[in-house]
Amino acid sequence: MKTLAFDGRMGASGDMILAALLAAGADRDALAPVEDSLPVRYEVGETDKNGISSTTVSVLLDDEGSEAAVDDEATDRDDSRAEGHSHGDHDHHDHSHGEGGHSHDHSHDEDARSHGRDDGGHSHDHDETGHDHTHAEGSGPLRSYPEVVELVESMELPESVERDALAVFELLGEAEANVHGTDLESTHFHEVGADDAIADVVGAALLLDDLNPERVVTTPLATGGGDVEMSHGVYPVPTPAVVGIAERADWSLRGGPVEAELLTPTGAAVLAHFAEGVETLPSLRIDASGYGAGGYDFPDHPNVLRAMVGESEAHGSLVRDDVAVLETNLDDAPPEILGGLQDSLAEVGARDVSVVPLTMKKSRPGHLVKVVCKPDDAEAVARRLAEETGTLGVRQAGATHRWIAHREIESVVVDLDGERYEVNVKLASDDSGAVYDVSAEYDDCAAVASEAGVPVREVMRRAENAIRES
């Protein structure tokens, strides 16, 4: 299975993802639809990060649109202030924090106006010929979520790329709306709706489409630490928008390893849509790898996002399913109550109920009741468990997720002495579609066995063989 693996130990931003994908083999020409639709171009370069040769990507205003875009940007800023919004009004501005509290999304970089850009000695403002080029940071109109959707849909992207890019912007919009108590349709993206941020998101979708991995994974993403200033005050890292996006992601966050903002909302949203979380890098036969550079320099930590492409040596994985596990000990519950817990607790969201005999204090016999449910259903399930059993307390165990198979029911026909009977069979498979277990439904087989006068296990054997031989 072709797998793309990100090493998230130094977080991620939009342009770091672009750079890492290009370094790992994605075709630079795949970015052409963005350059054809927006007054920007991508500048790809190289830099050194603590001895590691790394790729950089800058989104620049193209030569023709540079002056007009700068004028438009100034107008948009004035209009935004007039409406009561400042450049730092929203905490998912996808750049590293700098002057004025803006949380910009360009390579974990400090504000260029006060500190200058760190690109291994190369400025983003001119190329090697000495010609001036303006960075596209914040250029273009400050768009609402519907306006971003309209723009992306007008770019004539491949259908799958458009779908992926819009899904990333929906994650960003929902995070913004939740933080500020608004709805998605009225959400204004401000920085993340600017041309350079759109170039980051759509560019990432195009490059991932070009690489075409069957699976994308990331190790836990470092957030950094410390505080970031915004117009509403000082917030701890990770910012509220990043936390909101992480709630919807499959991967986990990890603090540190430095006091700086390492994970931006755009980086988080792109990876939340495309990548599943893994605790350690999977076994890969590496075909290509590369490093996308961030802007900060740290003495002991190369500020890079590593991407590796290769064939996974393992079979497909089971699906991670977030759950809560509830437990209570009972020493006085009658058998009838215990027997009815399966149905009663299932009514309020229980996925599985187990009753285990145990010996309690003073050698009294008792039972341990364990219930698996979705986290959102835990409170209702705990209340029903208390009502049904009279327990004085329900504890939530430490488990946070389980690994489950894809499950599918297929109907097969079993021939017994010339009579044909229909039986349902459950198939369990991993996320690559590989079936690893076939199990006939017992109740169906028992009914057929009773009618045909044969053992239940014979009906089960024939039904399962029918699936395996199909």
CATH number at residue 463: 3.10.20.300
Same domain for 176 and 278: yes
Same domain for 263 and 189: yes
pLDDT number for residue 192: 55
Q: Is the pLDDT of residue 29 over 70?
A: yes
pLDDT number for residue 128: 37
pLDDT number for residue 209: 97
Query: What's the whole-number mean pLDDT along residues 147-162?
Result: 93
Integer Cα distance of 439 and 405 in angstroms: 13
- Bridge partner list, 54: 47
Helix (H, G, I), strand (E, B) or coil at 236: strand
Instruction: Tell me which residue range forms the domain holding 243.
Output: 2-312
User: 290, 307, 241, 248: which is closest to 105 by C-alpha?
Assistant: 241
User: Which carries the bigger pLDDT value, residue 83 or residue 354?
Assistant: 354
Of 354, 369, 403, the residue that ends a domain is 403
pLDDT number for residue 97: 35
Reported as a pLDDT band with limits 50, 70 and 90, residue 231 is low
Integer Cα distance of 352 and 323 in angstroms: 11
> Cα separations (Å) of 64 from 40, 125, 137, 347, 362?
9, 15, 17, 64, 85
Helix (H, G, I), strand (E, B) or coil at 230: strand
Query: What's the whole-number mean pLDDT along residues 267-292?
Result: 92
Same domain for 56 and 97: yes
Reported as a pLDDT band with limits 50, 70 and 90, residue 234 is confident
Same domain for 161 and 96: yes
Same domain for 334 and 308: no
Query: What's the whole-number mean pLDDT along residues 426-439?
Result: 86
Q: What is the pTM of this model?
A: 0.60
pLDDT by residue (tens digit) across 288-297?
999 999 988 9
Of 365, 381, 403, the residue that ends a domain is 403
Q: Is the pLDDT of residue 118 over 70?
A: no
pLDDT number for residue 395: 94
Reported as a pLDDT band with limits 50, 70 and 90, residue 314 is low
pLDDT by residue (tens digit) across 383-396?
999 999 999 999 99
Same domain for 286 and 146: yes
pLDDT number for residue 407: 87
Query: What's the whole-number mean pLDDT along residues 278-282?
Result: 84
Same domain for 252 and 152: yes
Same domain for 447 and 399: no
Share of the chain above pLDDT 70, in %: 80
Domain count across the chain: 3
Q: Is the pLDDT of residue 463 over 90?
A: yes
pLDDT by residue (tens digit) across 156-174?
999 999 999 999 999 998 8
Same domain for 398 and 427: no
User: Which carries the bigger pLDDT value, residue 105 or residue 348?
Assistant: 348
Tokens in use for 430? 């991993």
Omega before 265 within 30 of 0, i.e. cis: no
Helix (H, G, I), strand (E, B) or coil at 396: strand
Give the CATH number, domain containing residue 349. Answer: 3.30.70.1380
Query: What's the whole-number mean pLDDT along residues 196-213?
Result: 95
Query: What's the whole-number mean pLDDT along residues 4-26?
Result: 97
Same domain for 362 and 347: yes
Q: Is the pLDDT of residue 55 over 70?
A: yes
Of 255, 289, 312, the residue that ends a domain is 312
Same domain for 385 and 278: no
Share of the chain above pLDDT 90, in %: 59
pLDDT number for residue 266: 94
Q: Is the pLDDT of residue 203 over 60?
A: yes
Query: What's the whole-number mean pLDDT along residues 346-373?
Result: 93
User: Which carries the bigger pLDDT value, residue 430 or residue 462?
Assistant: 462
pLDDT number for residue 137: 62
Residue with tokens 């915004």: 230
Q: Is the pLDDT of residue 36 over 50?
A: yes
Same domain for 369 and 453: no
Helix (H, G, I), strand (E, B) or coil at 150: helix
User: Which carries the bigger pLDDT value, residue 74 or residue 296?
Assistant: 296
Q: To the nearest 10°, the Cα dihedral for 93, 98, 99, 100?
A: 40
pLDDT number for residue 450: 95
